[in-house]
Structure formats: C-alpha cells, structure tokens
Structure 1
Amino acid sequence: MRDILQDLLEEKISIENAEKLLRVNDILELDQIAKLDIGRENRTGFPEAILAQGKDHDDLLIIINGYCTKKNSNNLLITRLDKNDYNRLKKDLKHLEEKGYNLDYNNKAKILIISNESKNKLSTNYGKIGIITGGTSDIPIAEEAKVIAEQGGAEVLTSYDVGVAGINRLFPQLAKMVKEGVKTIIVCAGMEGALTSVVAGLVDVPVIGVPTSVGYGIGGKGKAALYGMLQSCAPGIAVVNIDNGFGAAVFALTIIKNNK
C-alpha cells in the first residue's frame, strides 16, 4: 500500500490505477484454494474468518500458512472446526507457535483463534453485547457468537439456560444486562423459539434471534424456532439463519459500532 501511494504521490501512476492496485492488494490468493480478504479488518474492524466445514486438512494448512506468512499480522479465525481436526492442525502448526503465534481453541464454539499478541491487541471499547440461551443445548451456538463478538471488539455478557420453560430465571438476568448497558441482545433458542419474542417485549434495544437446531418432531432441525421468530409480533427483532451464531455476532457488532 505504501509503495502504491508513493508512486501516486510521485505521479508515476494515475489515481485510477492506484485505486485498482489497492483493490487487488486486498485479496490474497492461495494456490487456487482460497481468496482471503486481507483488508477485512481495516475495512470493517473484524478479522478474517475461515469456515473449516467442507475443507480438508491440507487446504486449511495452505490457507493458515499463507495468511500468517504473507500477511503476518492480525487474528485469523477458523470456525466450525471439530476437536479432532484441531488436534491434527495443531501438530502441523508448531512452526507458527515458534514464531510467536498463539493457537487458542474454544471447544464449545468450535473456533480456533490464531493470533500474534505482539502485533494485535484486542480492544473492548465498542460497547456491550448480551447473549442469552433458552437451554443448555443452545450454548455451543451462543459460544460461537460470544467468541466472534469478542474478537470484533465487544464486551460480552452471557446468561444461559433461561428459557420460557422456567421463565422466572430470565428476569433477573435480563435486568442485569439492561443495567450494564448492553446495546443489543442475541437470543439463541431452539424448540419453538419463544424466548426471542419474550426478550424483545421487555427491552428497548435491538434483539437478534438465532434459531437453533434443537427440537424434535415437527420442530426438528430448528425450523419451528425459525418460523416462530420470523412470525413474532414483538417489534425490534432481526433473525439470522438456523445455528448462525457467527452471523448474529457480526450483525450485533455492526449495531454497536455504528451507535458508538
């Protein structure tokens, strides 16, 4: 980027060519395997994230090594990574740890965070996000949202297993979040997904519903929860796809950063 700007300053290239070169510089292509958005953090404040699901071991190694070698800064998130796959990756990434990179794996969220602490310090000055689950089975999706939100620079308050089956558990936890000044609340719920409507009817901040694939019979695979959240009469709800904790966190981050 510096070289391009220097050439522009010395009038060696036109402003149009400089713009094209800067756009090209934002994409890192790795052996036809992946095109990484290396400018994502500068553009959005959020690190690059790679979905492990559907990628084989060798492809993930190429992506991780390429990113850390060529970019050599900022965090890289590997999402939906099973524990067995992580253990295998860790053995092949010892050279990164020797170079000062940390490999932090969250087993519940199934996310690997690859960071170089000497170059990237997380900031928590954007604001607070609340995350609530209906039941214990919803926690993995909530943890995915929590990791992503924290990596994006938010402080996260959580309260799990406070669903409508024992709704008395919800009110003190929700009151605490409101008192702490959360700017948005993510609600992860399966079954009929009613918790999202209840929360939205009680607070004055945006609520993001995450239907989870927890349920059986007609509500199996999260469809009943999805339909229930989409059909809610409580205003102020946005709904993401089934089990999409990642998307909910990114949307929540967008809300709090724009309201800072």
Structure 2
Amino acid sequence: MTKAKIGIVLGSASDKAIAKKAGDMLDKLQIPYEVTVASAHRTPEDAAAYAANGEKRGLMAIIAVAGLSAALPGVLAAHTALPVIGVPVSAGTVGGLDALYSVAQMPPGVPVASVGIDGGANAALLAARIVALLDENVRQNLEDLRVEQAEKVRKSRSTLELPEAPEEAFK
C-alpha cells in the first residue's frame, strides 16, 4: 500500500460524511490518504501528536474537519509546519457559521486555510494542488479534472430549453 500523502482528521466520527466527500475526490485524483478521529477538546494530546508526526510520516497536508467551535484545525496547525485545511461542519444551532468563523479567524502565526461549510471535496482539491507542486501525476490528474468539469458545463448549455447564446459568444 502506498503511504498517505494527505491526512484527514475528524473532530468526531459523526463527521464521517465530510471525510467521504474528501476521500472520493482524493481517490479520483489517485492521491493516497488516511482518516482518523482526534478531538481538540477530548483528546488534545492525540491531535497534537498526529500533527507533529505528520511530516516525518510523509504527509504533505492535513485536512481538519470540525463543527461547533472548530478548534481542531488550529490545534493541528499549532503543532506542525504542514499546511492545514479546515473544513467547517454544518452542525449546531447556527448551521456551521460558528465553525466557519473559528477556522477563518486564526491568530497571526497559526495559519489555517478554510473552505466552505461541509466543503470536503474542495478541501481535497486544495490539498491536491499542494501535492501537485511535487507530483506531476497529480498535476496531470488535476488538469484532466479541470477539462472534464469545463466540458460538463459546456454540454449543459444545450439542456436549458431556453434561447441559447451563440458559440461565437465564447470565442
């Protein structure tokens, strides 16, 4: 088995659906990954150790999935030089806004990238772009995906059942 390049850390096993979105995208791009659960509040020593050991184990980025106070991305970032990508989860009474604010408003010196609420697939794409800096195969897989997505949009134009813009509008 190939060593993981991306670590996905869930603050709770209930965040598994978000990890699945990220994992599906990483699978599509052929990037090996691993998933674990480590709580910033209930197992902070595990979260810190996972982050601190990530680089020497070959990880190139960590995706941190957390809801409510969403402290996990910051805890991980405080213990590693690896890029940490926070995925706020739509949990609690405010639908994930508290998690989004927690991830996006890190103090100076502890950067965490943030994607949108429940944005597991985008977190995987951002992590893939980091890996692609050193891996030509991943870079090509990202380019293939970009072309595939563009073609899907172009094909969708004819399904609107409304007056279409002419092709010369796009040249």
- The normalised TM-score by structure 2 is 0.70
* SS of equivalent residue, structure 2 residue 80: coil
C-alpha contact 2:38 2:44 (8 A) present in aligned 1: no
Alignment correspondent of 2:99: 225
Residue of structure 1 in register with 2:125 after alignment: 250
In 2, Cα distance between the equivalents of 1:149 and 1:163? 25
Indicate if the aligned counterparts of 1:137 and 1:214 stay in contact, CA closer than 8 A.
no
Structure 1 runs not aligned, ≥5 long: 1-123
Q: Which amino acid aligns with 1:236?
A: P
**Larger % of strand: which?**
1
| Counterpart among 126, 129, 138 of residue 6 in structure 2 | 129
Task: State the partner residue of 1:237.
Answer: 112
Query: How far apart, in 2, do the equivalents of 1:168 and 1:254 lie?
Result: 29
The structure showing larger relative contact order (alpha-carbon pairs under 8 Å, at least 6 residues apart) is 2
Which sections of structure 2, spanning at least 5 residues, go unmatched? Answer: 136-171
Deviation at 1:125, TM superposition (A): 7.9
Q: For residues 20 and 126 of structure 2, what CA distance do their matches in structure 1 show?
A: 15
Comparing 203-212 and 177-186, the one that deviates more: 177-186
Total equivalences in the alignment:
134
Q: Distance in 2 between matches of 1:197 and 1:185?
A: 11
Q: Give the match for residue 38 of structure 1.
A: none
Report % sequence identity: 32
Do the aligned partners of residues 147 and 246 (structure 1) sit closer, same or farther apart at CA in structure 2, a change above 3 Å counting? same
Alpha-carbon distance in structure 1 between the residues aligned to 2:50 and 2:77: 14
Find the counterpart in structure 2 of residue 139 from structure 1: 16
Change (3 A) 1:126 1:257: farther
Cα separation, 2, equivalents of 1:222 and 1:191: 7
State yes or no: 1:197 paired with 2:74: yes
* Structure 1, 160-169 or 222-231: larger mean CA deviation: 160-169
> For the aligned residues, what is the CA RMSD?
2.2
Change (3 A) 1:163 1:187: same
Could you state the TM-score of these two structures normalised by the residue count of structure 1? 0.47
